[in-house]
Amino acid sequence: MSEISQVGSFDAEIIETSRRIERLVQEHAPYTQIEDEQYKLSALINQKRQGLYQAKDPSYYVDQFFRCTSADDRRKKAAEFAEGALASINGILESDDRIADPSQLETFISVVEFFRFSSCKDGFCVSDTDDTSALTVPELPEVFFEQNYLSKIKLGQLSTALRDHDYFTEENGRYFVNRFSNRHKTVQDVTLLVEWKNDVHALATMLTLATELGIVNNVGTKKNPKSADSVDEPDSRATVAAAILHNFSITLSRPLSDDALIKLIYRHTKEAKDSVETFFSAVEDARRAHSLNKDNRAYKPLETTEGVIREFYRVQKYLGVAEGIRNQCPHMDFNIVDIFYDLIVASEDE
């Protein structure tokens, strides 16, 4: 927001200086003139670079927020300012150590959390029938994921697609990449969570498929100090739940206690994970049945997650098959599957 306008003010002069250097070279001007312009260009670029990370004073956001006279105006401003303050956090995380001031992070985290709270109106609907009292949640470790740089689908591409489909705001998508790319050593110390604009089923679907496709990797766990040494290691289902709790925030339509929220997230994550596993099996079953019915050739199972997803869209042309698969996976977000399919096709066409 403010950073963009500040940096943009240098652009015109940088362009003009670059063109001036080009003209001087073409005219065979004295080297000293060219060198002077090159020093000027270097200084302008350095000023612009520093401007990227000279965040606006947090008090500006708070002051402007309280200048709003109506509750609705404040809510709208809060959403805008949460993005602006998060942009400052992203700038700090993306900067090098000579420019970044890590001490700013704590202040901006508090500002973002305040504005997120103030902007809440609509959220993931929690039904009164969602009784979590009988659900037992195991002690979950903190699970750390990071980008797999060898993946054909890049984390930035996934973030952009999720943002375009309104699962993230622009700055939350950028922050998602920063958290998972481990580009800055202090990112693991940033307590601010990525704000997810949909329900837990969609988030669990996204994380499960991103992991299965190798876009992100589980790089280890940090054991919960409250858990006993005798507690068995959590299975992959619990791992996904822990990843959600550790990295993302969900806006709810009504408040829940911390215990009820953890149980709700764990249950919905388990449901989504089960649906993804059923999806893999159902696609294989449909492919096997079609292959045997067609020419009775020896059936070879699919070997990759990319293959399963591509096969799902291929079998959709067979009447009733795709609908049957979707019905078997009620807690899987198929809009997320659409996103991954488009990314797979794009990566293979490159």
Domain coordinates in residue numbering, the chain: 2-119, 123-350
Q: What is the pTM of this model?
A: 0.73
> Which range (28-42, 106-120, 219-233, 287-301) has the least confidence?
219-233
Residue 171 · residue 152 · CB < 8 Å: no
Which of the two residues, 300 and 29, has the higher pLDDT score? Answer: 29
pLDDT, residue 256, reads 74
Cβ neighbours for 220, distance < 8 A, ≥ 6 positions apart: 143, 144
Q: Are 248 and 269 in contact (CB under 8 A)?
A: no
In this prediction, residue 252 has a pLDDT band, given cuts at 50, 70 and 90, of: confident
Percent of the chain with pLDDT over 70: 67
Of 75-79, 133-137, 304-308, which gets the smallest average pLDDT?
133-137
Q: What is the predicted pLDDT for the residue at 183?
A: 56
Looking only at the bridges linking them, the beta strands covering 248-250 and 194-196 are parallel
Tell me which of 67-71, 223-227, 249-253 is least confident. Answer: 223-227
Highest mean pLDDT among 127-141, 191-205, 236-250, 256-270 belongs to 191-205
pLDDT band at 344 (very low <50, low <70, confident <90, very high): very high
Q: Name the H helices within 155-257.
A: 155-164, 170-181, 200-212, 236-247
In the block, tokens 């078997």 appear at 328
**Rounded Cα–Cα distance for residues 29 and 27 (Å):** 5
Mean pLDDT of 40-58: 62
58: Cβ contacts below 8 Å, ≥ 6 apart = 85, 107, 108, 111
Q: Is the pLDDT of residue 262 over 70?
A: yes
Q: Residue 25: what residue type?
A: V
How far is residue 307's CA from residue 323's CA, in Å, rounded to a whole number?
19
Residue 194 burial (C-beta neighbours within 10 Å; 0-12, 13-18, 19+): buried
Please report the pLDDT score of residue 221 as a whole number: 57
Strand partners, 217: 146
Mutual orientation of helices 170-181 and 71-94 as an angle, nearest 10°? 30
Q: Mean of the per-residue pLDDT values for the chain?
A: 76
